[in-house]
């Protein structure tokens, strides 16, 4: 687990941030100028803050009070930047192995494991100029992993790619998150990337951490979720496939109860990450009848929070938080209040595509 506490003053800006990043992907999210890159630079050892205590498990990277400051090259950190920064005169294989002096069968096995994970086997003899932007970023990821880092720092790795290239690389980032078993600190401006990739979220604002914790908690908490943008506010659930019905529906079990989705192409037993956006959840005070929605979940209202002219209603469905975004008028006319039993009508549930076939079962 990466643990970060730091304070630093520039002429016009003060950073005062503390958070923890366990194994998995920790998204560092905030507006431009909120201090994300400064945090990453401090973790990398490119900035020596006025005060800092940065540790990874037992390893102390920076301890300003103890006078410890490991130089960047001794921190065991792999970087992936916005631009891939590959060596143009080397092939993909040479780029992947650059600077690695490990030899023999172990090296071959490891190279082929990483090459398979990133789907870059067909590219090994090409030079970077003959790769697409997405392919270059996959090679940059491979190079970072092969350096045996204790953690990965990614500073907006998708920012320079168009949407199709982003879609191409997202499943590999998910695989890395689930298989690499190390902390990934991932800087982004994109709520969609946070929602899809993050297992932990750190929300930054004006040099401070406004909230941090497990992604599912931050995204379904009405006090913190709107910082990511109301359109992306909603619950994240872990579900497991229980059956594939003959009429083309997939039956999933979730902490909130069973859900039915149009066919999910994955085997029974597979676990998946689901998103239920607050704007896709309606509330009924009596069990609805004669409606086409397949998924209606009994729940209890926990609280109501005003949000940009509407209301975010937090529901408790079997211990799982679900958010619903409705108008203030609906909240009044339905007499919604904490403790009231209701039914959540789910208009849409989405499955993170990368979890199909990849996520641990
Ligand atoms: N070396 C420096 N000297 C003075 N001020 C700096 C320095 N580096 C960063 N800053 C200031 O610190 C603040 C935070 O910058 P930082 O780059 O960490 O933000 P960010 O959240 O990463 O922004 P962006 O998303 O635009 O990259 C900004 O106001 C910036 O101008």
Residue-wise pLDDT tens digits, 31-81: 899 999 999 999 999 999 999 999 999 999 999 999 999 999 899 998 888
pLDDT confidence of residue 357 = 46
Using alpha carbons, select from 159, 139, 186 the residue that is nearest to residue 82.
Answer: 159
Nearest-5° angle of CA 178, CA 57, CA 358?
A: 5
DSSP 94-107: HHHHTT----HHHH
pLDDT confidence of residue 359 = 40
pLDDT tens profile 219-243: 888 888 888 888 888 888 889 999 9
Nearest-5° angle of CA 301, CA 305, CA 306?
A: 140
177 and 25 in contact (C-beta within 8 Å)? yes
Q: Does residue 159 register a pLDDT over 90?
A: no
Distance 13 CA to ligand 1 centre (A): 8
Contacts (Cβ under 8 Å, ≥6 apart) of 329:
none
Stretch 208-213: mean pLDDT: 96
Distance 35 CA to ligand 1 centre (A): 6
Instruction: pLDDT band for 353, please (50, 70, 90 cuts).
Output: low
- From atom 7 of ligand 1, which residue's Cα is the shortest distance away? 10
Q: Please report the atom of ligand 1 found closest to the CA of residue 189.
A: 25
Distance 188 CA to ligand 1 centre (A): 14
pLDDT tens profile 289-332: 888 888 999 999 999 999 887 999 999 999 999 999 999 999 99
- From atom 26 of ligand 1, which residue's Cα is the shortest distance away? 32
Rounded to the nearest angstrom, the gap between the alpha carbon of residue 66 and the centroid of all alpha carbons in its chain is 33
Instruction: pLDDT band for 120, please (50, 70, 90 cuts).
Output: very high
| Secondary structure percentages of the chain, helix, strand, coil, to 5 | 30, 40, 35
For domain 2-225, say whether CATH 2.40.40.20 is its number: no
Distance 205 CA to ligand 1 centre (A): 12
24 and 200 in contact (C-beta within 8 Å)? yes
- From atom 2 of ligand 1, which residue's Cα is the shortest distance away? 10
- From atom 17 of ligand 1, which residue's Cα is the shortest distance away? 37
Of the chain, the percentage scoring pLDDT greater than 90 comes to 58
DSSP 34-70: SSHHHHHHHHHTSS--SEEEEEETTEEEEETTTTEE-
Instruction: pLDDT band for 100, please (50, 70, 90 cuts).
Output: low
Using alpha carbons, select from 289, 178, 188, 172 the residue that is nearest to residue 238.
Answer: 178
Distance 47 CA to ligand 1 centre (A): 12
User: Counting every residue, how long is the chain?
Assistant: 361
Using alpha carbons, select from 276, 287, 359 the residue that is nearest to residue 315.
Answer: 276
pLDDT confidence of residue 283 = 97
State the number of CA atoms in the 13 A half-sphere of 244 facing the CB: 9
Contacts (Cβ under 8 Å, ≥6 apart) of 212:
19, 20, 200, 201, 202, 203, 218
Cα separations (Å) of 51 from 54, 73, 101, 211, 215?
10, 21, 36, 21, 28
pLDDT confidence of residue 146 = 87
CA distance 173 to 169: 7
- From atom 16 of ligand 1, which residue's Cα is the shortest distance away? 35
Distance 346 CA to ligand 1 centre (A): 41
pLDDT confidence of residue 4 = 97
Domain extents for the chain? 2-225, 235-355
Q: Which residue has the higher pLDDT, 355 or 11?
A: 11
Stretch 338-352: mean pLDDT: 89
Lowest mean pLDDT among 42-51, 156-165, 264-273, 340-349: 156-165
* DSSP run (H or E) holding 196: helix 191-197
Rounded to the nearest angstrom, the gap between the alpha carbon of residue 244 and the centroid of all alpha carbons in its chain is 28
pLDDT confidence of residue 102 = 54
Lowest mean pLDDT among 5-19, 68-82, 124-138, 161-175: 161-175
Start-to-end CA distance of the chain, whole Å, equals 24
77 and 149 in contact (C-beta within 8 Å)? yes
CA distance 187 to 31: 11
Q: Which two tokens stand for residue 4?
A: 């970060």
- From atom 13 of ligand 1, which residue's Cα is the shortest distance away? 33
Pocket test for ligand 1, best of 4, 6, 9, 13 (most atoms within 8 A of CB): 13
Look up the ipTM and state it. 0.96
103 and 162 in contact (C-beta within 8 Å)? no
May I ask the CATH class of domain 235-355? mainly beta
pLDDT confidence of residue 355 = 56
User: Which residues are near ligand 1 (CB < 6 Å)?
Assistant: 10-11, 13, 30, 32-38, 189
Distance 189 CA to ligand 1 centre (A): 14
185 and 152 in contact (C-beta within 8 Å)? yes
Predicted TM-score of the model (pTM): 0.85
């Amino acid at each position: 687990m990466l643990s970060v506490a730091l304070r630093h003053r520039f002429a016009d800006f003060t950073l005062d941030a503390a958070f923890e990043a366990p194994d998995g992907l920790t998204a560092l999210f905030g507006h431009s100028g909120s201090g994300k890159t400064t945090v990453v630079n401090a973790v990398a050892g490119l900035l020596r803050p006025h005060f800092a205590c940065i540790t990874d498990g037992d390893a102390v990277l920076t301890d300003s009070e103890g006078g410890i400051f490991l130089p960047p090259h001794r921190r065991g950190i792999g970087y992936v930047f916005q631009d891939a920064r590959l060596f143009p005169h080397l092939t993909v294989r040479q780029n992947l192995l650059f600077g690695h002096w490990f030899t023999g069968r172990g090296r071959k096995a490891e190279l082929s494991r990483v090459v398979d994970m990133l789907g870059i086997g067909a590219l090994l003899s090409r030079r970077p100029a003959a790769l697409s932007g997405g392919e270059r970023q996959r090679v940059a990821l491979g190079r970072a992993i092969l350096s045996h880092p204790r953690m990965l720092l990614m500073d907006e790795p998708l920012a320079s790619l168009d949407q199709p290239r982003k879609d191409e690389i997202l499943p590999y980032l998910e695989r890395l998150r689930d298989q690499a078993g190390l902390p990934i600190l991932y800087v982004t401006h994109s709520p969609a990337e946070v929602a899809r990739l993050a297992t932990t979220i750190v929300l930054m604002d004006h040099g401070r951490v406004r909230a941090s914790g497990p992604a599912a908690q931050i995204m379904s908490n009405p006090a913190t979720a709107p910082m990511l943008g109301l359109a992306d506010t909603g619950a994240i659930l872990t579900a497991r496939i229980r059956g594939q019905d003959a009429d083309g529906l997939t039956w999933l079990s979730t902490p909130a109860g069973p859900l039915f989705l149009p066919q999910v192409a994955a085997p029974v037993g597979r676990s998946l990450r689901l998103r239920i956006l607050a704007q896709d959840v309606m509330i009924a005070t009596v069990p609805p009848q004669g409606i086409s929605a397949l998924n209606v979940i009994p729940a209890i209202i926990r609280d109501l929070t005003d949000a940009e002219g509407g209301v975010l209603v937090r529901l408790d469905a079997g211990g799982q938080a679900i958010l619903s975004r409705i108008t203030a008028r609906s909240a009044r006319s339905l007499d919604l209040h904490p403790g009231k039993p209701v039914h959540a009508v789910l208009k849409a549930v989405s499955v993170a595509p990368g979890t199909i076939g990849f996520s641990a079962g």
